[in-house]
């Protein structure tokens, strides 16, 4: 899907896709676009997997930036959606600008009862604490037997390199009874693979029978897709080679591949992801395996 360009809130980018299969066979996608000042908002589109029709993009964002001075006044970026008991929970990352470091972001949540998404709080659902003292972002949530399970990005610090602050973050785990108040004990699910890695991006977790599968992207010289498996959703084994895409790279992802979202539709397993420029080239579609 090409990034929108003609909307006031969507000057560039279609990043962090969140696919939602629809009853009519089409696919809904939440995504993040940026305005001329670089602030992201979350939009919505409908597409056909076979490319038979052009994407239909809503004219207005489904979630706008927060109030001035709030944790998400510099942008909101999509992460995942959970449908539970007739409500839709949109988990997102809220951005604000910093002074000693260039930005902060924290995980937020907005809920829809069939209409517009409304923030559950003007503050993050994962605020800074001793477990996550720097930043939280990009929650991926599933509900199993009444237990809400989250995998999220957590900052481990900033370091000065060539006089500029550089961020480090990996993926941790949290649990909840209601999807809003979360218990965190610092359990790390995906850690840095080597000394070059410093950023591990939004996870996407699916359960296949007794196996949990996670897709993500890890950044060293550039973002590349990663993959891991787990028996319990807590202890993971990275198997990044299995995330490699066959057929080489295209002009849209020759420099980087990031933000994968995996889903099943039409008897096939699909992946949406972003390429060069963190979504500047739009959303790429790949077909994985027979399901």
Strands 12-21, 27-34: pairing kind: antiparallel
**Four-point Cα dihedral 176, 217, 124, 146, nearest 10:** -20
- Report whether 155 contacts 169 (CB < 8 A): yes
Instruction: Locate the domains of the chain by residue range.
Output: 66-290
* pLDDT tens-digit readout, 35-83: 999 999 999 999 888 766 678 888 999 999 999 999 999 999 999 999 9
Bigger pLDDT: 192 or 247?
A: 192
- Report whether 154 contacts 185 (CB < 8 A): no
- Rounded-to-integer distance, Cα 120 and Cα 125, Å: 9
pLDDT of 291 strictly over 60? no
Average pLDDT over residues 23-35: 90
Average pLDDT over residues 165-193: 97
pLDDT of 96 strictly over 70? yes
- Taking residue 201's Cβ as centre, other Cβ atoms within 10 Å add up to 23
Helix, coil or strand: residue 284? strand
Q: What rounded mean pLDDT belongs to the chain? A: 94
Place 290 in a pLDDT band, splitting at 50, 70 and 90: low
The domain 66-290 having CATH identifier 3.20.20.70: the answer here is no
DSSP string, 158-201: EEEETTEEEEEEEEEEEEESSSSSEEEEEEEEE--SSTT--EE-
Average pLDDT over residues 153-161: 97
- Report whether 95 contacts 74 (CB < 8 A): yes
Query: Which pTM was predicted?
Result: 0.95
């Amino acid at each position: 899907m090409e990034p929108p360009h003609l909307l006031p809130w969507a000057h560039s980018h279609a990043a962090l896709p969140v696919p939602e299969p629809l009853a009519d066979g089409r696919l809904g996608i939440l995504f993040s676009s940026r305005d001329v000042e670089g602030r992201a908002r979350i939009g919505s589109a409908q597409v056909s997997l076979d490319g038979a029709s052009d994407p239909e993009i809503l004219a207005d964002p489904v979630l706008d930036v927060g109030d001035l001075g709030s944790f998400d006044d510099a942008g909101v970026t999509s992460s995942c959606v959970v449908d539970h008991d007739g409500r839709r929970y949109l988990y997102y990352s809220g951005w604000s600008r910093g002074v000693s470091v260039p930005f902060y972001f924290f995980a937020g949540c907005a809920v829809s009862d069939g209409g517009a998404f409304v923030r559950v709080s003007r503050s993050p659902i994962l605020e800074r604490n001793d477990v996550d003292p720097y930043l939280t972002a990009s929650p991926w949530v599933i509900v199993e037997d009444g237990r809400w399970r989250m995998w999220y990005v957590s900052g481990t610090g900033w370091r000065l390199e060539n006089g500029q602050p550089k961020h480090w973050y990996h993926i941790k785990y949290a649990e909840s009874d209601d999807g809003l108040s979360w218990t965190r004990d610092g359990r790390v699910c995906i850690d840095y693979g080597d000394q070059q890695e410093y950023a591990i991006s939004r996870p996407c977790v699916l359960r296949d029978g007794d196996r949990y599968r996670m897709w993500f992207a890890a950044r060293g010289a550039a973002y590349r897709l990663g993959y891991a498996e787990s028996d319990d959703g807590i202890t993971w084994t990275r198997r990044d080679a299995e995330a490699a895409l066959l057929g080489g790279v295209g002009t849209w992802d020759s420099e980087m591949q990031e933000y994968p979202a995996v889903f099943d539709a039409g008897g096939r397993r699909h992946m949406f992801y972003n390429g060069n420029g963190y979504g500047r080239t739009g959303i790429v579609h790949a077909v994985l395996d027979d399901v």
